């Protein structure tokens, strides 16, 4: 279970770096594949926008649909990102816990616990092992890109058997993600929706300088 959480984190961060979150109903409408020229223009715009985002803060709702459960699991919290190499998610409902990526270290801590889980991503394969996981190159995206009335859809197929797939919907004007979904091989889906987004504003000092409570024991896990 703990390794599943870390694997999910790597995919989530990959999706977040690409873009930021629309209605899945749009997938039922006719989608037009972008021409090569349109595709190159879109990815070029994404690269320019990405370069201009130094910090990001937003509230989020995360819905996890698991086939074995009768209804989705819903989580709420706030996400913080600093290009100086900080990715921080503070979950507040239904469980209060922290997920922080700083440098190559991932920490997951349930507030009030005596222990926390951590992993060093420097030895992980692919983007998970990159020291600056937010510094990606849009020209390296090789998935399908479509356009419809709601925006631009980016569909990243699984890179290897069993790996999750990504569906991301970008706003046509801002190219910020309106919604994205992570779909597992078995059909389980995680949907992330952001609200109250703040770009390039100072992040709270308690996030930038966060440290575990004194005496917390770290459980070192191996990355997936």
Give 120's pLDDT tier (boundaries 50, 70, 90).
Answer: confident
CA distance 9 to 11: 5
Any domain includes 185 = yes
Long-range contact pairs involving 24-31 (C-beta distance under 8 Å, separation at least 24): 24/179, 24/181, 24/191, 26/148, 26/149, 26/150, 26/151, 26/153, 26/169, 27/153, 27/167, 29/148, 29/149, 29/150, 30/148, 31/146, 31/147, 31/148, 31/153
Say which residue, 13 or 82, is predicted with more confidence: 82
Any domain includes 42 = yes
Any domain includes 100 = yes
Any domain includes 220 = no
Residues 127-164 pLDDT 10s:
333 334 345 677 778 889 999 998 999 887 756 677 78
What is the pLDDT averaged over residues 75-101? 93
- Backbone φ, ψ for residue 200 (5° rounding): 60, 35
Any domain includes 223 = no
pLDDT above 50 for 10? no
CATH of the domain at 95: 2.50.20.10
Can you give the residue range of the structural domain that contains 122? 2-210
What is the pLDDT averaged over residues 41-47? 91
Q: How many domains does the chain have?
A: 1
Q: What tokens were used for 121?
A: 């991503």
What is the pLDDT averaged over residues 7-22? 46
Average pLDDT, the chain: 81
- Asked whether the beta carbons of 42 and 35 are under 8 A apart, the reply is no
Any domain includes 40 = yes
Give 223's pLDDT tier (boundaries 50, 70, 90).
Answer: low
Any domain includes 14 = yes
pTM value is 0.77
Any domain includes 108 = yes
pLDDT > 90 in the chain, percent = 45
């Amino acid at each position: 279970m703990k390794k599943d959480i870390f694997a999910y984190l790597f995919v989530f961060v990959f999706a977040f770096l690409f873009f930021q979150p629309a209605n899945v109903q749009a997938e039922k409408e006719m989608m037009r594949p972008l021409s090569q020229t349109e595709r190159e223009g879109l990815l070029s715009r994404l690269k320019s926008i990405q370069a201009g985002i130094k910090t990001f803060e937003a509230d989020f709702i995360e819905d996890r649909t698991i086939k074995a459960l009768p209804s989705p699991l819903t989580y709420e919290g706030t996400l913080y990102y600093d290009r100086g190499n900080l990715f921080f998610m503070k979950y507040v409902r239904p469980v209060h816990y922290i997920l922080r990526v700083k440098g190559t270290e991932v920490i997951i801590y349930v507030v009030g616990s005596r222990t926390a889980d951590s992993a060093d991503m420097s030895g992980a394969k692919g983007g998970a092992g990159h020291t600056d996981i937010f510094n990606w190159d849009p020209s390296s995206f090789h998935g399908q890109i479509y356009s419809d009335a709601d925006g631009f859809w980016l569909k990243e197929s699984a890179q290897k058997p069993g790996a999750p797939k990504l569906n991301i919907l970008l706003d046509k004007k801002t190219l910020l993600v309106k919604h994205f979904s992570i779909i597992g091989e078995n059909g389980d889906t995680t949907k992330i929706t952001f609200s109250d987004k703040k770009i390039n504003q100072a992040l709270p000092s308690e996030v930038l300088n966060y440290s575990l409570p004194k005496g917390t024991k770290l459980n070192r896990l191996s990355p997936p």
